[in-house]
Amino acid sequence: MATIKNGILGKFNGSVGNITGYNLAGQMVVREKAINVANPSTPAQEAQRANLKYAIEIYKVLKPLLIYSLSERDKKQTVFSEFLRLNLNTSIVNSTVDLDKLIISKPNSPSVELSLELETGINNIASGTVI
């Protein structure tokens, strides 16, 4: 991968034609959108994308808390990616969120008791308390 300070398009976020630009950990990244996909989505890929959808909804609600509670992470890793690493395949499985397994802080972080109520289109949230 090549790195360039200001390319022909300069700094930008979003899409222009088939080019997408964004900021990742302080660096500008420019990618080209795939036009033809050689291998279509498998059922496992579709299931993982559905799980990711639920993870994003939970993250949006918890973001202010997670910025504080996951501050002891590798600084090159975003709060979002740390949240996904801790939860995507453990507490968010089969498009269901198990709140008993949801991790919102590292072991050395202060304990937080959380009551969660989502007002989104998500219907499959297991009940529980996160401590």
Residue 126 has pLDDT above 60, yes or no: no
- How high is the mean pLDDT of the chain? 78
Burial class (CB in 10 A: 0-12, 13-18, 19+), 19: middle
DSSP category for residue 40: P
Q: Are strands 125-126 and 92-93 parallel, antiparallel or unpaired?
A: unpaired
Helix and strand element counts for the chain (H, E)? 2, 6
Tokens of 24: 């990742």
pLDDT for position 7? 58
| pLDDT over 80 (residue 113) | no
Q: Is the confidence at residue 122, as pLDDT, over 60?
A: no
Q: pLDDT grade, residue 83 (50/70/90)?
A: very high
Would the pTM count as exceeding 0.75? Answer: no
Task: Please report, for the chain, the start and end positions of each structural domain, with discontinuous segments joined by +.
Answer: 1-36, 43-126
Lowest mean pLDDT among 31-40, 41-50, 54-63, 93-102: 31-40
pLDDT at 84: 92
- Better pLDDT: 32 or 4: 32
Compare 26 and 115 and report the one with higher pLDDT.
26
Give the pLDDT of residue 35.
78
